[in-house]
Amino acid sequence: MKLEGRVWKFGSDVDTDAIIPARYLNQTDAGELAKHAMEDERPEFVREVKKGDILVAERNFGCGSSREHAPLALKAAGISCIIAESFARIFYRNGFNQGLPLLESSEASKEIQDGDQVQIDLSTGEIFDLTQQRKFLAKPIPPFMQELIEDGGLIPHLQKKELKGKTF
């Protein structure tokens, strides 16, 4: 699976309240959540983000509460992948459960700049910054996790398996 998009760069310790402020947690509609993603961190994000864009952050992205709203809001806003040095563990799992690919790469998270155009090969973990003409490596996403992404997240993945007669 290959992705390409414009980079939105963030720093370290971006918590789930920065990703989707608590005042919107009464919403469950992904489209409504997307309208408020990162609005307190970078107000222009919700106006300018495009489908396929890529978020790059430093360490501990998604720390804070375990709200599934955070990766859901980013995915619905158009973010196709998040690259960071590290993720909060609950956010990491919630991201894959929502079908949002997450890559860990210390070098890429430091070197890729806001506005760069990036190509990603999820199966190999290769990240190519087209703007800087530089290549970075991340841990590849295991095949079973790639299935979750391709199916749109954990629930659609399980529903697909159930339709094929497989039990869990």
Give a yes or no: residue 158 inside a domain: no
Task: State yes or no: pLDDT of 167 exceeds 70.
Answer: no
Mean pLDDT value across the chain: 94
Print the domain residue range for 130.
Answer: 2-140
151 within some domain: no
CATH of residue 112: 3.20.19.10
Residue 110 within any structural domain of the chain: yes
Over residues 116-133, the mean pLDDT reads 96
Record the pTM: 0.93
Q: How many domains does the chain have?
A: 1
Q: Is residue 162 part of a domain?
A: no
Is 159 within a domain?
no
**150 domain-assigned:** no
Whether 79 has a pLDDT exceeding 80, the answer reads: yes
Strand segments, DSSP code E, in the chain are 2-9, 54-57, 81-84, 102-104, 117-121, 126-129, 134-137
Section 136-146 average pLDDT: 91
Under the banding of pLDDT at 50, 70 and 90, the label for residue 140 is confident
Which tokens go with 109?
């998270």
Q: Phi first, then psi: what are they for 69, rounded to 5°?
A: -60, -30
Instruction: Report yes or no on 38 lying in a domain.
Output: yes
Q: What is the pLDDT of residue 168?
A: 54
| Average pLDDT of the segment spanning 29-43 | 95
Residue 157 lies in a domain: no
